[in-house]
Amino acid sequence: MNYFTVTAGDGRSSARCGVLETGHGIIETPCFMPVGTKATVKGLTPRQLHEEVGAQIILANTYHLFLQPGEQLVGELGGLHAFMGWDGPILTDSGGFQVFSLASLRTLEEEGVTFQSPVDGSRHLLTPERAIEIQEVLGADVIMAFDECTPYPVDYETARRSLQMTARWAERCKTARRRTDNLLFGIVQGSMYPELRRESAELTREIGFDGYALGGLSVGEEKSLMYEMIDMTAPLLPREQPRYLMGVGKPEDIVAAVAAGVDMFDCVLPTRNARNGMYFTWQGPLVIKQARYRTDSLPIDEQCSCYTCQNFSRAYLRHLFRSREILSSVLATIHNLYFYHRLMEKIRMQIKNGTFADFMKNFISNYDIS
């Protein structure tokens, strides 16, 4: 089945547009996936995500849903789509990143990872086979292979052993598949070593997946080093399949990664920062708690057509944030996700028009990250 089609390319970079077909709808790429960790994008209903934000696909977290409420309950209630009332595509991560970053008392071995639940203290063994089983019970449209995400910095030999085990786990994940109505993505690791990234890409490509992800980035390294890894890894992945950059989501980073040929993105930034009073605009982030907005009657962004900007002033939004009102998080989340989806829309349009390189230059020069 030809589920991914490249529909346009940029003549001055590796940026491309595509169409990804899933069991719950078609996704235009490049795309951004809002993070719905526990089967909810915090603060918004599925209707708001669809109608006010324009989300095409969302991400849910295998690790958290496995621990609470449990994948069997979700499966018995019709799977994630029915459980959370979202009828569009869903991607689930494998739980690997959370096991290595959140779980306590974990033990890593060839079989998998044994860890202690932060919910009730129970002990669990998460293997590649179990990670696939959980994701298939949840019923996601795109599922991820189980991988080890190394910390940064990490020495060369540790990074190499890790990527080789990730490749062995990836093969086990592919063998463990039972459903034919989902897409399985493999994950490229290798820390910040170009030759290890190349080795991981080759191993993962040899196994063969429906799509390929760049993992282990935005974990504390310098931005220039992250860009170097993206620029050299993306071209090593099959052109005819989607490329997904995991967990990288600053607007300027998305634009740079699109130029390298990346198709899919997810990040908690727009939603987490919304809850902390940060709004994304075409001129850069705006921190609403600052005193200069106390009497400001302007919307967050005069160029923005979102519900928040069409109806509320900076002064009111500052008042909500300082008063710790729930509505503050809701309105900020609507705006930030709307901004991200309009950014992706603009990117797709510019690629199709052959003007992406100019757009990228103008965006970076106008977007103040200081």
Nearest alpha-carbon partner for 322 in 280, 289, 298? 289
Strands 264-267 and 278-281: unpaired
3-state secondary structure of 25: strand
**Residue 106 one-letter amino acid:** R
Catalytic residue among 10, 93, 147, 210: 93
Q: Which strand (E) or helix (H) includes residue 136?
A: helix 128-138
Catalytic residue among 10, 141, 266, 301: 266
3-state secondary structure of 284: strand
Quick check: is 120 catalytic?
no
Question: What tokens appear for 228 in the block?
Answer: 């170097």
The partner residues of 115 in beta bridges, in order of sequence, read 124
* 89 and 24 Cβ atoms separated by less than 8 Å: yes
CA distance 264 to 10: 17
CA distance 72 to 124: 15
Quick check: is 93 catalytic?
yes
Count Cβ atoms within 10 A of the Cβ of residue 42 and give its class: 0-12 exposed, 13-18 middle, 19 or more buried.
middle
DSSP assignment of 293-338, as one string? GTT--S-S-TT--SHHHHH--HHHHHHHHHTT-HHHHHHHHHHHHH
Question: Active-site residue numbers?
Answer: 93, 266
